[in-house]
C-alpha cells in the first residue's frame, strides 16, 4: 500500500500555533463550530427516546484466584444483538455483549486476563488508563490473530514502515495480559487498539469497563451497589439491514481508513448508553454515582441535566481518568472528549417525586442533543451516601523537578495526513526517551480538536495557552482535550515499567490515519 496515497488528502496546512486553511472544498467540515466529525445518518427509522431500559453491564467473575492474582477469560466473538428494538445487529463483542463484561479488580492484586479471538479479524486489547507493563499494554501491532489461523496473514498493513520487523509480536488464538494492579481506584476501560482499525473495531462493539477498587475509596461514604452506575456513552449509525454503518475506505477492512468526507471523525445519529438507544432509568430520591465514559469515536459531549436542580451544581465531580480528586468539584455542565472519564455524584433527592430528568448533550442537535432520562421515584428510601469535603491525598507533581520539556504538535499535513511533529506513525520509532523515575513537562499543541491520550502513566494538567488548567482538567488524567489552536502543558512521572509505549489522538479516525507516536521509557 502506498502510504502517501492513503494518507495524502491535502485538505489543509497548519502553522505552529495558528490556523491557516487551504481553500479547498473539503476543508469546511474540519472547522464546524470548532468540533470534529461529520454526521453519518442511519438508513432505518430510529426509535423514540426514553423507551429502552438502561442496561448495566454484567460483572465478569474470575475463573480462579490465588494468593496474589485473579484470573479472567474473555472470548472475542461475533454476536447478534438487539440494540434497536426489533432489529438484529451483528456486533464484534467481548463475551457476546456490548459493552463487554465489566472487569472489577482490586488495587494490589494482579488481574491476569486471557483473551481468545474468535472474530474474523485480528485484534489488539488495550486497557485504557491501566498502569501496565509494555508487553501487556496493547501495542497496536501486538496482534491477536483469529483462532485457527495458520500464520500471520498478509495484509495492507505489512507495507507500512516498521511492520515487517515487528511481525513477531503476533500470536494466534489466545493472548494473556497481566495487569499488576499497582494503581489506585479508578474507572478504566478496555477496547480494541489494532493499528489502522481501532475505529471500526470499537464502532462494532469492542469496548468494556474495567473498574479498580481500593481501601481508600471503599472507606468513603459514596453511593455503592445499584447506585454506582458505569455509563458508556457512544454514538452509532445503522444500515437498513440493522448492521453498524461505517464509512470505511474498504468494506472488507483489508485497507485502513475512512472515506475523505469522514477524515475528521465519524459521528453517529443514535446515542447509546451501555448499548441501549436513549435509555431511561428509574432512580430513587437519593445520591447516585455516575461513572461517565465517552466511548465515541469522535463525538464531544457537553452534558447537562434538565431541569437543573434548584441552586445548580448538578454534578459533583469526585474523580477523573486516574481516580479520586483531592476534593469534590461542582459543575452545571461537563465537557467530555472521546476516552475521558468523569466520576460524578448526582443527588436526585433535590428533585420532586415524579420528575423526569433528562441528560442532554448541548453539543448535539436534533436526536443527538438527548442522551438518556432519569425518572425520579416517589417512594421513601434510605440514603446514607454523602460526598465528603476531602476525598483523597493527591500528590501534586512539582514542575521544578521536571528534567525535560518536550513539544508534540498534533497537526494535519498536506502530504501525510494526521501527524505528530510533522510525521505519520511508524512503529519502533520513538519521539521521546524519558528515564524511568523522572518527571517531564510535555506540551501538546493542536490545529483542530484532538483528545490526546498517553499510555503507561497518568499526568496532571498545569496550564492551557499560558493560563491555568481548564474547569474539567482536575486530577490525574490520561486523556486531555485539545481545542483548536490550543497548547496544553502537563507534568508526567514515569514509574515502574520500562519499554515502548504510545501517545496518540483518541479521535479514532485520526488515530487510524497515523496520528500516533511511540515513546520509550529507559
- C-alpha 455/C-alpha 441 separation (Å) is 15
CATH (one of 2.60.40.10, 2.60.40.420, 1.20.1070.10, 3.40.50.300) for 399-521: 2.60.40.420
10 Å CB burial of residue 395 (0-12, 13-18, 19+) is exposed
Q: Do domains 64-218 and 225-376 have the same CATH topology?
A: yes
Q: Do residues 298 and 200 make contact, with C-beta atoms less than 8 angstroms apart?
A: no
Q: Do residues 177 and 191 make contact, with C-beta atoms less than 8 angstroms apart?
A: no
- For the chain, the structural domain boundaries read 64-218, 225-376, 399-521
- C-alpha 432/C-alpha 453 separation (Å) is 15
CA angle 396, 466, 488 (to 5 degrees): 65
Instruction: Please state the length of the chain.
Output: 522
At 214, give phi and psi (nearest 5°): -150, 175
pLDDT value at residue 415: 79
- C-alpha 252/C-alpha 255 separation (Å) is 8
Q: In the CATH scheme, what is the code of domain 225-376?
A: 2.60.40.420
Burial 183-213 (b: 16+ CB within 10 A, else e): bbbbbbbbbbbbbbbbbbbbbbbbbbbbbbe
pLDDT mean by block of 10 residues, the chain; 522 residues: 32 26 32 74 98 98 97 98 98 98 98 98 97 98 90 46 53 96 98 97 98 98 98 98 97 90 97 98 98 98 98 97 98 98 98 98 97 95 97 97 98 89 96 98 97 98 97 98 97 98 98 97 96
Kind and range of the H or E run holding 37: none
- C-alpha 2/C-alpha 256 separation (Å) is 12
Query: Would you call 168 helix, strand, or coil by DSSP?
Result: helix
pLDDT value at residue 153: 47
pLDDT value at residue 470: 97
- C-alpha 488/C-alpha 454 separation (Å) is 13
Q: Do residues 298 and 508 make contact, with C-beta atoms less than 8 angstroms apart?
A: yes
- Laid out side by side, the sheet with 270-273 consists of 276-277, 270-273, 228-236, 287-294, 341-347, 315-320, 323-331
Query: Would you call 25 helix, strand, or coil by DSSP?
Result: helix
- C-alpha 355/C-alpha 476 separation (Å) is 35
* SS3 sequence of 310-330: CCCCCEEEEEECCEEEEEEEE
**How many other CB atoms are found less than 10 A from the CB of residue 139?**
22
- C-alpha 120/C-alpha 111 separation (Å) is 27
CA quadruple 133, 232, 215, 67: dihedral positive or negative? Answer: negative
pTM: 0.92
Q: In the CATH scheme, what is the code of domain 64-218?
A: 2.60.40.420
Q: Do residues 355 and 302 make contact, with C-beta atoms less than 8 angstroms apart?
A: no
Chain-centroid distance of CA 239 in Å reads 24
- Cross-strand partners of 175: 115
| String of DSSP letters for 245-307 | P--BSSTTSSS--B-GGGTT-EEESEEEETTEES-EEEE-SSEEEEEEEE--SS--EEEEEES
Amino acid at each position: 500500500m502506498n502510504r502517501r496515497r492513503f494518507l495524502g488528502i491535502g485538505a489543509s496546512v497548519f502553522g505552529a500555533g495558528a490556523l491557516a486553511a487551504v481553500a479547498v472544498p473539503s476543508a469546511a467540515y474540519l472547522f464546524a463550530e470548532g468540533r470534529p466529525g461529520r454526521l453519518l445518518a442511519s438508513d432505518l427509522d430510529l426509535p423514540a427516546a426514553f423507551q429502552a431500559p438502561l442496561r448495566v453491564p454484567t460483572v465478569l467473575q474470575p475463573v480462579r484466584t490465588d494468593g496474589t492474582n485473579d484470573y479472567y477469560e474473555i472470548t472475542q466473538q461475533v454476536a447478534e444483538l438487539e440494540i434497536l428494538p426489533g432489529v438484529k445487529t451483528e456486533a464484534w463483542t467481548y463475551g457476546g455483549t456490548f459493552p463487554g463484561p465489566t472487569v472489577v479488580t482490586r488495587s494490589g492484586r494482579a488481574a491476569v486476563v486471557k483473551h481468545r479471538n474468535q472474530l474474523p479479524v485480528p485484534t489488539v486489547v488495550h486497557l485504557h488508563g491501566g498502569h501496565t507493563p509494555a508487553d501487556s499494554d496493547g501495542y497496536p501491532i501486538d496482534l491477536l490473530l483469529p483462532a485457527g489461523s495458520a500464520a500471520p496473514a498478509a495484509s495492507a498493513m505489512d507495507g507500512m514502515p516498521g511492520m515487517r520487523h515487528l511481525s513477531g509480536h503476533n500470536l494466534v488464538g489466545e493472548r494473556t495480559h497481566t495487569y499488576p494492579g499497582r494503581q489506585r481506584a479508578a474507572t478504566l476501560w478496555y477496547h480494541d487498539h489494532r493499528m489502522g482499525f481501532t475505529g471500526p473495531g470499537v464502532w462494532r462493539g469492542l469496548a468494556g469497563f474495567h473498574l479498580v477498587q481500593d481501601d481508600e475509596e471503599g472507606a468513603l461514604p459514596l453511593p455503592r451497589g445499584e447506585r454506582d452506575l458505569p455509563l458508556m456513552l457512544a454514538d452509532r449509525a445503522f444500515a437498513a439491514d440493522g448492521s453498524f454503518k461505517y464509512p470505511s475506505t474498504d468494506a472488507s477492512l483489508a485497507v485502513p481508513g475512512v472515506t475523505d468526507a469522514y477524515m475528521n471523525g465519524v459521528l453517529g445519529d443514535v446515542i447509546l448508553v451501555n448499548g441501549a438507544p436513549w435509555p431511561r432509568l428509574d432512580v430513587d430520591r437519593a445520591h447516585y454515582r455516575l461513572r461517565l465514559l465517552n466511548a465515541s469515536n469522535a463525538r464531544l459531549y457537553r452534558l447537562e441535566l434538565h431541569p437543573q436542580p434548584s441552586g445548580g451544581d448538578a454534578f459533583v465531580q469526585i474523580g477523573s481518568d486516574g481516580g479520586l480528586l483531592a476534593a469534590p468539584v461542582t459543575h452545571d455542565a461537563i465537557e467530555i472528549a472521546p476516552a475521558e472519564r468523569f466520576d460524578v455524584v448526582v443527588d436526585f433527592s433535590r428533585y420532586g417525586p415524579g420528575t423526569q430528568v433528562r441528560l442532554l448533550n448541548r453539543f448535539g442537535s436534533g436526536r443527538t442533543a438527548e442522551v438518556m432520562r432519569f425518572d425520579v421515584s416517589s417512594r421513601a428510601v434510605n440514603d446514607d451516601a454523602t460526598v465528603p469535603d476531602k476525598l483523597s491525598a493527591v500528590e501534586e507533581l512539582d514542575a521544578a523537578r521536571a528534567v525535560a520539556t518536550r513539544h508534540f504538535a498534533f497537526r494535519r499535513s498536506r502530504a501525510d495526513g494526521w501527524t505528530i511533529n510533522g510525521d505519520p506513525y511508524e512503529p519502533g520509532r520513538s519521539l521521546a526517551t524519558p528515564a524511568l523515575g523522572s518527571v517531564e513537562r510535555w506540551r501538546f499543541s493542536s490545529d483542530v480538536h484532538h483528545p490526546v491520550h498517553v499510555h503507561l502513566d497518568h499526568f496532571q494538567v498545569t496550564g492551557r495557552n499560558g493560563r491555568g488548567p481548564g474547569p474539567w482538567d482536575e486530577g490525574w488524567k490520561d486523556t486531555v482535550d485539545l481545542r483548536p489552536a490550543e497548547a496544553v502543558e502537563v507534568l508526567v512521572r514515569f514509574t515502574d515499567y520500562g519499554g515502548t509505549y504510545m501517545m496518540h489522538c483518541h479521535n479514532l479516525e485520526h488515530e487510524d490515519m497515523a496520528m500516533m507516536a511511540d515513546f520509550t521509557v529507559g
